[in-house]
A = this chain, B = another copy of it.
Amino acid sequence: MKSIIVRNIARAESAAVESLKGFGTATLHEAMGRTGLMNPYLRPIYDTVKACGTAITVSCHPGDNLMIHAAIEVCQPGDILVVTVTSESTDGMFGELLGVSARAHGVQGLIIDAGVRDTSELTEMKFPVWSKAISAKGTVKATAGAVNVPVVCGGAIVNPGDVVVGDRDGVVVVPKADAAKVAKAAQERTERENLTRERLAKGELGLDIYSLREKLRLLGVTYVD
């Protein structure tokens, strides 16, 4: 990985991004064939958090947030910062000031595979953050990294411009080329689930709705009284 900052990236089309906004991460991840999900150790800093935008990716040296400052300059309204480190770290690389700066440039939120601080202030600002840790530990600005290269964040590959969607259940990455298709599949899934929900609410069983009784029999599961 060279120490580069890519200024102009191809982002998912804004119509496609828009079309993904109504769906939760569980639905989107299923709509992509159960892929694209980040690890569950990434947790939101407050419960009502929600964000959907295009990824600006940042790769930092652990304990160093120099490249986040560089990344803000290339952000556009609607972007989400996706920050990774080259080895495990829980340091608080992002705080209120960076939140203010990011918001001034239209950034919709932060996914960080490391720590965050000033969580009270960021919560008050309603600036959505998913992080691996909350830590007041400060960082330096001494070592090179990269902006807008492919990164691994929370175990998922993120390419610059991909759509990143987060809610209380986690964070999912939708490759920019697939955004429209995924929105469509998510819509279909949601409609199916609406019907299923009604039937379940009336007491029908998943065993019957999903035709699982025969599967249990084939697998050799037996009933005992």
Residues of A in contact with B (beta carbons under 8 Å apart)? 1-8, 24-26, 29-30, 32-35, 37, 39-40, 43, 47, 61-64, 66, 69-70, 72-73, 86-92, 95-98, 100-101, 104-105, 115, 117-120, 123, 133-138, 140-146, 150, 152, 155-157, 167-170, 172, 193, 196-197, 200-203, 205-207, 210, 212, 215-216, 219-225
Contacts and interface: CB of A to CB of B under 8 A. Distances in A.
A195 to B, nearest CB: 11
A43 B34 CA distance: 25
Contacts of A137: 29, 34, 37, 40, 86-87, 170
B136 A24 contact: yes
Contact of A216 (B66, B156, B216): B66
7 contacts: A26-B117, A29-B138, A87-B135, A101-B205, A142-B215, A144-B216, A152-B155
